[in-house]
Each structure stands twice: as C-alpha cells, then as structure tokens.
Copies of this chain bind each other. A is one copy, B any other.
C-alpha cells in the first residue's frame, strides 16, 4: 500500500537494527484518515473470504481492526493482555512471547465472543516473529472458529513470522512489507 509505505518513510523512526517506531501515526498517535484507507484495503484483499468477525490484540491493533470491521460490516473483538491469568473460566487464552521486550503476556477473550460459526480475520499492527498471530490462532482453535485470513499493517519480512505462516498455508496480506533496514533507510519488498 503506497500511502502507508510513504508514511513509514516520512515518519517512521529506526531504533537499532530491527525496531521501527511508528508511534506518530499508529502506536500512540493515530491518523484516522490513514486507518480508514487501511480498513478499505483490508476489505479489498479479503472481501471474498466470508469474514464474520475480526480479532485483534489491544492496543495498537484496535484502530486498523475497527476501520476494517466498519468496511466488512462485522464486529471487532480485541483480546486483552494480562501479565498472568489466575482465573481462566469462560475465557479463551494463549501465551504470547515478545522477543523485543523479552516478556510473556497472556492474551484472552471472553468465550461468548467467538464460536464455531465464525470465520475470523486476524488483524495486527506488526508481524515480526509471528508470536501474537500464533496466540490468536490458538484462541480460534479453542473456539472451534475458522480462520478467514491474516491482515498485517507492517510486516518485517526479514524476521521469521511471515515464513512461519506461509509454511502453514495461511492467507496473509501485509499492507507494507519491509525487506531490510540499511543505513537508517527502510527498504520495502519489491512486489511482482
């Protein structure tokens, strides 16, 4: 998505070798107009997949997921993050390890919001090592819901998450795919 790539080039900040900070339009300050365009793009990419619900993880996934949900006309569910869960009654939950922060979180949703009739589009802000998506897939499994696809805002293609999902035959679409960071520059994957 050209608009997003341009925005990343303009406002993204590289920290070290692997971290891209986009808190000026996605992760803390949000550009609603850009989110709207992203929602439309997710709809274009997955509109034939019979999506009944969108699942994401708080907090940065909520804005793109909401705008996509509006385009699809389906509810959006966001999993909450917990340091630990003592009581798992009536919850679907999974453990998500963050390589960046080197900590684990539990993500959980109430069981009443997903069931076997749902065909779910997973949306997240970043795809790096694929841990958050793996956690959401575990939740779908527990709910016997089907997977309608995975929509990612920014994919770091040089990390292993995308390969991992491709290997499982999962339909993944990323709005921006980063091939590498070089000399403070972002290089995007060239699309055919």
Q: A residues within 8 Å of B by Cβ?
A: 23-25, 28-33, 35-36, 58-59, 62-63, 66-67, 69-70, 73-78, 80, 109-110, 112-113
Bound-state CA distance A74–B35 (Å) is: 12
Query: Given A59-B59, A59-B80, are A28 and B66 also a contact pair (CB < 8 Å)?
Result: no
Bound CA span A81–B25, Å: 19
Given contacts A58-B58, A59-B80, A80-B59, A75 and B35 within 8 Å (CB-CB): no
Give the copy number.
2
A58 to B, closest residue via Cβ: B59
Report if A23-B66 is in contact (Cβ < 8 Å); known contacts: A30-B78, A77-B30, A78-B28.
no
CA distance A109 to B29 in the complex (A): 9
Q: How far is the CB of A85 from chain B (nearest CB, A)?
A: 15
Known interface pairs A33-B73, A59-B59; A113-B28 also in contact (CB < 8 Å): yes
User: Is the contact region of chain A dominated by helix, strand, or loop, or is it mixed?
Assistant: mixed
- B113 with A76: CB separation less than 8 A: no
Beyond contacts A59-B80, A63-B66, A66-B66: 10 other A-B pairs, Cβ-Cβ < 8 A, are A28-B113, A29-B113, A30-B75, A30-B77, A32-B66, A32-B67, A32-B74, A33-B70, A58-B58, A59-B62
Q: Which residues of B contact A70 (CB under 8 A)?
A: 32-33, 35-36
Q: Are A59 and B78 closer than 8 Å at their CB atoms?
A: yes
Q: Which of A23, A29, A110 has most B Cβ within 10 Å? A: A29
